[in-house]
Structure 1
Amino acid sequence: MPDHLCPFGLKSKWLLEREGYAVEDHHLTTRAETDAFMQKHGVKTTPQTFIGDERIGGYDDLRAFFGDRLKEADETSYRPVVAIFGTGFLMALAVMWMAGAALVSLATLTTFIAISMVLLGIQKLQDVESFSTMFLNYDLLARQWVPYGYIYPYAETLAGLLMLAGVLPWVSGPLAFFIGAIGAASVIKAVYVDRRELKCACVGGGSNVPLGFVSLTENIMMLLMGLWTISRLM
């Protein structure tokens, strides 16, 4: 409509056409038409898809009809982690390519870690309040000093940016080592000692990534990057 676009209507139409159906697209042009339609068919939302005389339902119902697996709201997903680390690795390769450096090298690895730290930091900075709440469930320092949960996203992002720029290594090295060491110890205690089943705050406060290997990897990467940066000062 001129003043309203229905994304689920467009998606439903596209999905039907993708599956080979000819689609009759019936627009509900007024609020009264929409209310009357929902009352007639006993539904609470539009659009509604009909194949022949059979009502399939809304967009999610249509996806299920065609066999698409729908993700549950609280379902575990590693997609954010794969996206972040995959993009970080490709960005590191792009930086090395632009610099005319060897793609397979220690510099590529350290650039990848620094970029990943920044990307992970951005995820946390989107909602620091939510992150800090989830972080308090397992981080040893944050449980003793709550402000650390608010500082952490900024510290991780700052350390990654300084490492990418190659400046102030006497700040970025100790900072990455400190937060990485505390984080690794916290994950080991919560997951492998206390055997707690928690969500990881590594990609932000709203994630469904389980606490464990991913978070431990993130922290070990920061710890080693911090050690490497400090070693170059000596």
Structure 2
Amino acid sequence: MSKSAQLYRMVTKEHICPFGLKSKDLLQRQGYDVQDHKLASREQTETFKQQYNVDTTPQVFINNKRIGGYEDLLNYFNKPPAKPKGTSYAPVIAIFSVTLLLSLAFSYSQTNSIYLIKTLELFVALTMSVLAIQKLKDLYSFTNSFITYDLLAMRVVRYAYVYPFLEAYVGIGMIANFPAITIAPVSLFIGTVGAISVIKAVYIDKRELKCACVGGDSNVPLGLISLTENVFMVAAGIWMFMS
């Protein structure tokens, strides 16, 4: 016996509801024959919501019983929430994984082999550059988060606005093989200040904060990840002076 479901979703010239499309896809993957009712205007949508006394669309009905919207449908099929709540390391894992793969790819493309030292240098440089992009895409949000734990930014707020540019400069400079004297001091400085700040905030003061390392709007907890970023900078600065 085939399973069927009714889906009411908003589809207008101005707006196609993404959760309606996701609900349809989920139902089809669960083996349901979907009767897709498209609400083609704001007026139709408002009329539907008043008729069924609901606040949002899409709305799914199975066996003439209203299941609800997309999140309700996920729960109905015992699926995890679409967007996990609370802190998450997903942004950092994504950045570190891709920059590592890029480092391996660049190293291999230049020598047809994996040169460990060069790969590590590229990994650090690319990671710093991408993390800088994450901060620069919303500098306002980044600074709001950064100044709550960085010891220098607390005292000199403008430093928070300069920091992502300095990080990008170091990353780009390493890739471009700038003279060590022009980038190593910057890397050492921002890395050392950052590491001390994280250690004090997290491990001494025991504060539970969100890390601004991947931008001010992230849910990455302040701690090991941010400390790792700063250790990278310190290690890169020392390595550049020694090389």
Q: TM-score, normalised by structure 1?
A: 0.94
- When structure 1 is superposed on structure 2, of 2-11 and 205-214 the one drifting more is 2-11
Q: 1:102, CA displacement in angstroms?
A: 3.4
2:211 to 185, 190, 200: 200
1:75 aligned residue: 86
2:6 aligned residue: none
Separation of aligned partners in 2, 1:71 and 1:14: 13
Alignment partner of 1:25: what SS?
Answer: strand
1:190 to 198, 201, 206: 201
Q: 1:2, CA displacement in angstroms?
A: 6.0
What amino acid maps onto 1:226 in structure 2? G
Q: 1:72, CA displacement in angstroms?
A: 6.4
Answering whether residue 20 of structure 2 is matched by residue 14 of structure 1, we say: no
- When structure 1 is superposed on structure 2, of 13-22 and 95-104 the one drifting more is 95-104
Alignment partner of 2:33: what SS?
Answer: coil
Q: 1:33, CA displacement in angstroms?
A: 2.1
Alignment partner of 1:114: what SS?
Answer: helix
Aligned pairs for 1:191-230 within 5 A: 191-230=202-241
1:172 aligned residue: 183
Q: 1:104, CA displacement in angstroms?
A: 4.9
Percent of aligned positions that are identical: 49
Cα distance 1:139–1:206, how it changes in 2: closer, same or farther (>3 A)? same
Aligned length: 232
Q: 1:10, CA displacement in angstroms?
A: 1.3
What amino acid maps onto 1:215 in structure 2? S
1:43-66 deviation digits (Å, cap 9, x = unpaired): 111111111111111111111211
5+ long unaligned stretches in structure 1: none
What amino acid maps onto 1:221 in structure 2? F
1:107 to 101, 115, 118: 118
Cα distance 1:214–1:57, how it changes in 2: closer, same or farther (>3 A)? same
Separation of aligned partners in 1, 2:28 and 2:49: 24
5+ long unaligned stretches in structure 2: 1-10
Q: 1:30, CA displacement in angstroms?
A: 3.0
Larger relative strand fraction: 2
Separation of aligned partners in 1, 2:209 and 2:194: 14
Answering whether residue 159 of structure 2 is matched by residue 148 of structure 1, we say: yes
Q: 1:31, CA displacement in angstroms?
A: 2.8
Separation of aligned partners in 2, 1:44 and 1:224: 54
Aligned Cα root-mean-square deviation (Å): 1.5
Q: TM-score, normalised by structure 2?
A: 0.91
